[in-house]
Amino acid sequence: MSRLIVVSNRVSAPKDPAAGSAGGLAMALSAALRKYEGLWFGWSGETVERFTGELNIEDRAGVTVATVDLEPQDVDEYYNGYANKTLWPLFHHRVDLTAYERSYGEGYERTNRRFAEVLQPLLQPDDVIWIHDYHMIPMARDLRRLGVKNRIGFFLHTPWPARQLLVTLPHHRRLVKSMFHFDLLGFQTREWMELFQRYVEVEAKGVVGPGGRVEAFDRSVQLGVFPIGIDVDGFLAARDSLLGQKTYDRIAASAAFRSMIVGVDRLDYSKGLEQRLLGYEQFLEDNPSMRGDVFLLQVTPISRDDVDTYQDIRARLDALAGRINGAYADMDWQPIRYLNRTFRRDQLAGIYRAARVGLVTPLRDGMNLVAKEYVAAQNPDDPGVLILSRFAGAAEQMGEALLVNPFSREELSDAIHKALTMPREERIRKWKALMQVVRDTDVAHWRDQFVRALIN
């Protein structure tokens, strides 16, 4: 087929896929591009005093990557500003944390225009363009203004917000209108897609046709649900690698027959980490006899640390983990091991495998691939139990997990107790059903379904 041009803000194809510690989006996109010929375009992550549009092109593990440096002002207004202080909190239902600054919106528009101007000369007539995530919503409109006629698809990795919240954004209509320059809009779940449809019906007097075509703003666009998945075989290979095995053995030795509960999340307020620690504290309170037999390994790499709301949540988590450890620890036992660092994928796979419980409790999340990785890493004859927030996109597919309301500390405490005491047959039955879903809707399935829908 024609070339696939993948566009995303962060371009982080790992040089060695087993070593990669990149987030879900980056891992999924590098897997996508290893199958299709093409290139991956986006921000280099670097700044330059004056924007030149000069491209850095390199080959990373068989993927051609083309990036541009941005000006510090672009990074402030577009990435830290509109993307991470405006759209991210808004799309995760946190209007209380959303910044509504005019300069951020202007920087976002300017930077998207810059991306479009740099990408346009690289395009060939048959190329299929696939743009990712909230950083780049207006880019199809900007490419069309430059005369680009190619098929252009968009996939939103985050949730789409409820209409009542989206309308708090100045120029919300302009943002949504720009999306009608795509040929296909992909969402993680039916719920996010229906929220988009509702906005269009109410705010733009649009019409939702059969088969998911939506008409508004004198244009039309096809909608679809494409739940993202993981590279199951790659992840199993990482788990069974020497380092994956060693990590498993190391944890088993250090756990000394205690049950490990694991959480792995970027340090982000959307992940429900405070509520999770409070729920775990409640569990310790409710079950004095289980103290000392269990511990929580919470792996939380620092993220977006230039943004004040992220600094705030970091300080609150430091205090909370310290308080709970101070209150409950014994001379030879600590209830929480709280780590602000990343691990290689093979190590992570070993960690998940060693955990009796996987705790994935975001307050709102587009999909959440930790849930899928946790399931994939389990021992089939003695699997652990996944506790999953009902507000993660993954809950739409993973109903066999213990679904919880992450805002309720009592519910979290009860779920942890239930998971730790669940009989083996029940664990195996649930795991089999979950593993089937993880396998059937892996990353290749996601990519192929989206690309097929885009070229049709």
Positions in the binding site for ligand F6P (CB under 6 A): 10, 23-25, 133, 157-158, 303-304, 366
Point out the residue whose Cβ comes nearest to ligand F6P: 23
Nearest to 257 by CA among 296, 297, 295, 293: 293
Quick count: other Cβ atoms within 10 Å of Cβ 89? 21
Nearer to ligand F6P, 23 or 224 (CB): 23
Radius of gyration of the CA atoms of the chain, in A: 22
CB 421 → ligand F6P: shortest distance, Å?
33
Name the active-site residue from 74, 127, 346, 365. 365
CB 77 → ligand F6P: shortest distance, Å?
15
Q: Which residues are within 8 A (CB) of 175 and not within 5 positions of it... i.e. 6 or more apart?
A: 137, 138, 169
Nearest to 328 by CA among 301, 295, 365: 295
Nearer to ligand F6P, 24 or 272 (CB): 24
Nearer to ligand F6P, 371 or 385 (CB): 371
CB 428 → ligand F6P: shortest distance, Å?
31
Q: Is 172 a catalytic residue?
A: no
Q: Is 157 a catalytic residue?
A: yes
CA distance linking residue 148 with residue 142, whole number of Å: 9
Nearer to ligand F6P, 10 or 353 (CB): 10
CA distance linking residue 27 with residue 446, whole number of Å: 13
Nearest to 183 by CA among 119, 120, 127: 127
Nearer to ligand F6P, 229 or 279 (CB): 229
Name the active-site residue from 157, 265, 346, 442. 157
CB 214 → ligand F6P: shortest distance, Å?
23
CB 192 → ligand F6P: shortest distance, Å?
12
Nearer to ligand F6P, 303 or 449 (CB): 303
CA distance linking residue 330 with residue 341, whole number of Å: 25
Nearest to 60 by CA among 20, 27, 15: 15
Nearer to ligand F6P, 83 or 419 (CB): 83
CB 85 → ligand F6P: shortest distance, Å?
12
CB 366 → ligand F6P: shortest distance, Å?
6
Nearer to ligand F6P, 14 or 335 (CB): 14
* Joined tokens for residue 6: 């993948």
* Joined tokens for residue 343: 């691990």
- Burial (CB count within 10 angstroms: exposed 0-12, middle 13-18, buried 19+), residue 286: middle
CB 76 → ligand F6P: shortest distance, Å?
14
Q: How far is CA 73 from the centre of its chain?
A: 26
In this structure, are residues 147 and 125 in contact, taking their beta carbons and an 8 Å threshold?
A: no
Q: Which residues are known catalytic residues?
A: 157, 365
